[in-house]
Amino acid sequence: MLWRVFILVVLTLINIVLFGRMIWGPAGLLEYRELKSRHAALREQMDKIDVQNLSLSREIRLLQSDKQYMEKMIRRYLHYVRENEVLYLFDDEAKITPGSMRDG
């Protein structure tokens, strides 16, 4: 009878240890949930990069094949102007407020 109780206690302790490892161990439930959330975040980041990559590929194709688009981009980013044109550059941060144009 004593052996049965001893075996039952040992098996119960083993089950408790195994259950603890299943939850908090290196390959346990908590680690699985963390890895699952990291995987979802990486998948979302990958999707954003795929969209950006597709956009850049389209722009490359346009720059290689469409002369008007190429001219538009050169004029926009390199500030080129045609003959008899005047280029005005505005600072995006400088905003006119109602009280800023009063005579001093």
DSSP code string of 37-85: HHHHHHHHHHHHHHHHHHHHHHHHHHHHH-HHHHHHHHHHHH----TT-
Q: What is the pLDDT of residues 24-68, one digit of tens each?
A: 888 888 889 999 999 999 999 999 999 999 999 999 999 999 999
As a whole number, the mean pLDDT across the chain is 87
State the Cα torsion 82-86-60-68 to the nearest 10°: -40
Number of other CB atoms surrounding residue 48 within 10 Å: 10
Look at residue 64 and tell me if it is in a domain. yes
> 61 lies in which domain range?
9-78
pLDDT of amino acid 88: 82
Look at residue 36 and tell me if it is in a domain. yes
Look at residue 43 and tell me if it is in a domain. yes
pLDDT of amino acid 61: 96
Residue 73 contacts residue 63 (beta carbons within 8 Å): yes
Look at residue 71 and tell me if it is in a domain. yes
Look at residue 52 and tell me if it is in a domain. yes
Look at residue 98 and tell me if it is in a domain. no
Number of domains, the chain: 1
pTM of the model as a whole: 0.54
